[in-house]
């Protein structure tokens, strides 16, 4: 195997990933208020509310016997067992709207009793063994970006809760340029992994909206899917091998790209959300850093027409690297941003560049100049034949510019008393119209006619696609209850339509009841059996995933 061990030497190249704000998404330095014009529009649409945040909330005192931590200190070192309020606060829950609302209200009741930071697989294994011995819940922590309650361990029957922070495990363990595989440690955040790979000429190509904070371990544990999934595939499709620490010992999988050696156990650990084991290394397929990137916009007369175009590309095997389609509602909102559609419509069929209603599609092409040109020509031919109107590169550039910013806006909107949250699902192509209508209807029925429901398709397959909804509604006096009711109604609608409860946000604690419906009682039995086998004492992220 042609392998270069990169290791700590590469550390100076790593971008710095800041700690997230304990009550908001992202880099505290990038938190902003709504622009005045937007604030005015919001007040016009929803009236004036406020969802104030308690200043400097404190987590409850640790409930774990401090004597138990001494053994842990012997394993990972004094400096890596932390019990201070500030550290514990930063490891409390994820970033769903319920998480944010609870944190704003000063409720940090789910804070871990301690934060432990192992440095390698063996230290993770030792922490697991300690947790099993003392019946302490362990919550693996990567980027803290969960939006489905994946970081809320159940405490019942356990001595306490410890956050297993993977922040020290950030090595590029191996790179095989011939096979184009890289072995990465789980604590690497998206930008850190990309920087290490870029130094070797490669990219993972995985860019979910959480990219700036989310971790390699989290991508694997939640079956993440990124904005370039049309070209690079879902994260679970990139994984060819993985190592996990489990209470039963070490699990190493990945003899080959694919095989017939029984059930694919890699596909059990992928999506297991820390409930079956802690992923300590992931071997992923990588690709050369693209020499060229080009993004552009297309206009479609309707959401349905745009979907037909996406389906045609997917079924012809002619997908661009990025392929997204906003529904009419989301398109209108995008267009409210002056940079969303370029003034230069010279590439458009009718030369005026104006969208004239309808739907905006973004197509992106990455690769060698020849590959970009070839695929772009193919796609352009197909989309033009289907009635699409090319809008030039400005909408594409506008999208790439703001692609990781939406979660910051969510907090600014919450400041102004507006709930903004997303939810996503997937189904087969023929069922998309009914699913779209049912989820929209459920959200509007729950939140009222005032609610704004936007949708886009951002992940496509030969047989179907995802639907990603963004919802905005007045927070009202009981925003948490209001949102949970809406979420529940929309989730019921998804399952009623035979669709999945989540295309790429995982199960966590929030989606468990619907997962049980999705896989049925026998599926639940299989999950329970796996949990009991891998984690007999139930210390691994208890409460998530397994119904």
Residue 31 Cβ vs a second copy, minimum distance, rounded to whole Å: 28
Of the ranges 26-34, 71-79, 171-179, 404-412, which one interacts with a second copy (CB under 8 A)?
171-179
Task: Specify the residue, 480 or 519, whose C-beta has the smaller distance to a second copy.
Answer: 519
Q: How far is the CB of 447 from a second copy (least distance, A)?
A: 24
| Pick 470 or 491: Cβ nearer a second copy | 491
Query: 547 among the known binding-site residues?
Result: no
Q: Widest CA span of the chain, in angstroms? A: 74
The CB-of-215 to a second copy minimum distance in angstroms stands at: 16
For residue 374, the minimal CB distance to a second copy (Å) is: 8
- Residue ranges in 378-407 that form contacts with a second copy under rule CB under 8 A: 378
Q: Which 507-536 residues touch a second copy, going by CB under 8 A?
A: 507, 511, 515, 518-523, 525-530, 532-534
Q: Do the Cβ atoms of 247 and 137 come closer than 8 Å?
A: no
Q: How far apart are the C-alpha atoms of 449 and 452, rounded to whole Å?
A: 8
Q: Is 171 in contact with 8 (CB distance < 8 Å)? A: yes
Question: 148 a known binding residue?
Answer: no
Task: State which residue, 394 or 421, has the beta carbon closest to a second copy.
Answer: 421
328 assigned binding-site residue: no
Flag whether 75 is marked binding.
no
In the complex with a second copy, the residue whose CB is nearer, 12 or 263, is: 263
Considering only residues 447-476, where is the footprint of a second copy by CB under 8 A?
459, 461-465
Which residues 412-451 are close enough to bind a second copy by CB under 8 A?
Answer: 425-431
Q: Which of residues 199-238 bind a second copy (CB under 8 A)?
A: 222-225, 234, 236-237
Distance between CA atoms of residues 83 and 90, nearest Å: 11
Does 223 show up as a binding residue in the annotation?
yes
* Residues 198 and 129: beta-carbon distance below 8 Å: no
Question: Does the annotation place 224 within a ligand binding site?
Answer: yes
Q: What SS3 state is found at 280?
A: strand
Least Cβ distance, residue 511 to a second copy (angstroms): 7
- Of 369 and 520, the one with the shorter C-beta distance to a second copy is 520
Please select the residue that binds a second copy; options are 246, 331, 458, 491, rule is CB under 8 A: 246
430 assigned ligand-binding residue: no
Q: Is residue 262 marked as binding?
A: no
User: Cβ distance 112 to 86 under 8 Å?
Assistant: no
Site string (130-169) toward a second copy, x via CB under 8 A: ----------------------------------------
Which residue number, 109 or 368, has a Cβ lying nearer to a second copy? 368
> Would you state the structure tokens that stand for residue 499, as one six-digit string?
């669709």
Q: Least distance (Å) from a second copy to the CB of residue 460? A: 9
The interface with a second copy within residues 307-366 (CB under 8 A) comprises 311, 315-317
Bridge partners (DSSP) listed for residue 282? 184, 242
Task: Name the percent of the chain in helix, strand, coil, to the closest 5.
Answer: 40, 20, 40
Residue of 295, 365, 408, 468 marked catalytic: 468
Tokens 């693996």, located at residue: 140
Residues 484-503 touching a second copy, rule: CB under 8 A, are 498-503
| Smallest gap from residue 382 Cβ to a second copy (A) | 11
- The b/e string for 88-123 (b: 16+ C-beta within 10 A; e otherwise) is bbbbbbbbbbbbbbbbbbebbebbbbbbbbbbbbeb
CB 226 within 8 A of CB 208: yes
Is 140 among the annotated ligand-binding positions?
Answer: yes
Site for a second copy in 47-106 (CB under 8 A): none
> What tokens appear for 476 in the block?
């009202």
The label of the residue with tokens 């774990």 reads: 64
Q: Which stretch binds a second copy (CB under 8 A): 31-39, 70-78, 198-206, 243-251?
A: 243-251
Query: What number of other Cβ atoms are within 10 A of residue 430's Cβ?
Result: 10
Cα–Cα distance for residue pair 479/414, rounded to 1 Å: 10
Shortest distance in whole angstroms from residue 495 CB to a second copy: 8
Of 209 and 502, CB closest to a second copy: 502
Structure tokens at 238: 């990139």
> Does 15 help bind a second copy (rule: CB under 8 A)?
no
For 36, counting Cβ atoms within 10 Å of its Cβ (0-12 exposed, 13-18 middle, 19+ buried), the class is exposed
- Rounded CA-CA distance 182/241 in Å is 10
Q: How far is the CB of 333 from a second copy (least distance, A)?
A: 26
431 in a labelled binding site? no
Q: In the complex with a second copy, which residue's Cβ is closer, 408 or 429?
A: 429
Of 214, 44, 69, nearest to 134 by C-alpha is: 69
Beta strand spans in 11-123 (E)? 81-82, 114-116
Is 468 annotated in the active site?
yes
User: Residues in contact with a second copy, total (CB under 8 A)?
Assistant: 91
413's enclosing H/E stretch is: helix 406-415
| Cβ-based nearer residue to a second copy, 113 or 535 | 535
Query: Can you read off the two tokens belonging to residue 309?
Result: 């175009």
Contact status: 121 vs a second copy (CB under 8 A): no
Closest CA to 366 of 396, 402, 336: 396
Is beta strand 389-392 parallel, antiparallel or unpaired with respect to 452-457? unpaired
**Is residue 248 involved in binding a second copy (CB under 8 A)?**
yes
- The secondary structure of 205-257, three-state, reads CCCCCCCCCCEHHHHHHHCCCCCCHHHHCCHHHHEEEEEEEECCEEEEECCCC
Q: Among residue numbers 250 through 309, which ones bind a second copy (CB under 8 A)?
A: 250-253, 255-265, 267-273, 276, 285, 287
Residue 197 has, within 13 A of its CA and on its CB side, a CA count of 29
Binding site as annotated, residues for FAD? 140-146, 222-225, 273-279
Q: Which residues are catalytic?
A: 468
Binding site as annotated, residues for substrate? 410
Binding site as annotated, residues? 140-146, 222-225, 273-279, 410
């Amino acid at each position: 195997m042609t392998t270069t061990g990169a290791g700590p030497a590469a550390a100076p190249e790593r971008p710095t990933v800041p700690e997230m704000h304990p009550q908001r998404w992202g880099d505290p330095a990038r938190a902003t208020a709504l622009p005045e014009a937007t604030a005015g529009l919001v007040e016009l649409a929803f009236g004036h509310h406020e969802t104030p945040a308690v200043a400097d909330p404190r987590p409850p005192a640790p409930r774990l016997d401090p004597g138990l931590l001494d053994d842990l200190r012997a394993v990972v070192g004094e400096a890596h067992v932390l019990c201070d309020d500030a550290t514990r606060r930063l490891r409390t829950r994820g970033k769903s709207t319920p998480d944010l609302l609870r944190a704003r209200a000063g409720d940090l009741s789910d804070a871990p009793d301690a934060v432990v930071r192992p440095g390698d697989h063996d230290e993770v294994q030792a922490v697991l063994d300690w947790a099993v011995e003392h019946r302490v819940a362990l919550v693996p922590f990567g980027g803290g970006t969960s939006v489905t309650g994946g970081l809320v361990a159940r405490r019942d029957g356990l001595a306490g809760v410890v956050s297993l922070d993977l922040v020290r495990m950030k090595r590029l363990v191996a790179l095989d340029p011939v096979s184009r595989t890289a072995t990465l440690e789980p604590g690497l955040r998206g930008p850190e992994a990309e920087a290490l790979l870029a130094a070797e000429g490669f990219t993972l190509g995985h860019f979910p909206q959480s990219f700036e904070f989310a971790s390699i371990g989290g991508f694997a544990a939640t079956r993440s899917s990124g904005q370039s999934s049309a070209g690079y595939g879902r994260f679970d499709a990139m994984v060819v091998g993985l190592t996990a620490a489990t209470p039963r010992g070490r699990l190493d999988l990945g003899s080959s790209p694919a095989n017939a050696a029984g059930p694919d156990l890699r596909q059990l650990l992928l999506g297991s959300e820390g409930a079956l084991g802690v992923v300590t290394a992931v071997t992923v397929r990588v690709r050369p850093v693209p020499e060229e990137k080009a993004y552009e916009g297309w206009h479609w007369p309707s959401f349905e027409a745009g979907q037909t175009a996406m389906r045609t590309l997917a079924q012809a095997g002619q997908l661009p690297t990025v392929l997204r389609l906003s529904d009419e509602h989301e398109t209108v909102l995008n267009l409210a941003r002056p940079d969303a559609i370029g003034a230069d419509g010279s590439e458009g069929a009718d030369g005026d560049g104006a969208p004239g209603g309808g739907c905006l599609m973004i197509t992106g092409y990455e690769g060698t100049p020849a590959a970009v040109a070839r695929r772009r020509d193919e796609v352009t031919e197909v989309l033009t034949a289907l009635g699409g109107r090319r809008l030039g590169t400005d909408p594409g550039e506008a999208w790439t510019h703001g692609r990781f910013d939406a979660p910051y806006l969510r907090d600014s909107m919450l400041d102004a008393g507006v709930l903004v949250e997303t939810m996503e699902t997937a189904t087969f192509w023929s069922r998309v119209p009914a699913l779209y209508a049912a989820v929209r209807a459920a959200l509007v029925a729950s939140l009222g006619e005032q609610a704004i429901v936007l949708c886009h398709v951002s992940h496509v397959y030969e047989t179907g696609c995802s639907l990603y909804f963004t919802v905005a509604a007045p927070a009202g006096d009981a925003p948490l209850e209001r949102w949970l009711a809406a979420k529940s109604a929309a989730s019921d609608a998804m399952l009623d339509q035979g669709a999945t409860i989540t295309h790429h946000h995982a199960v966590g604690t929030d989606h468990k009841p619907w997962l049980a419906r999705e896989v049925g009682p026998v599926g639940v039995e299989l999950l329970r059996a796996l949990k009991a086998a891998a984690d007999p004492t139930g210390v691994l992220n208890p409460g998530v995933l397994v119904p």
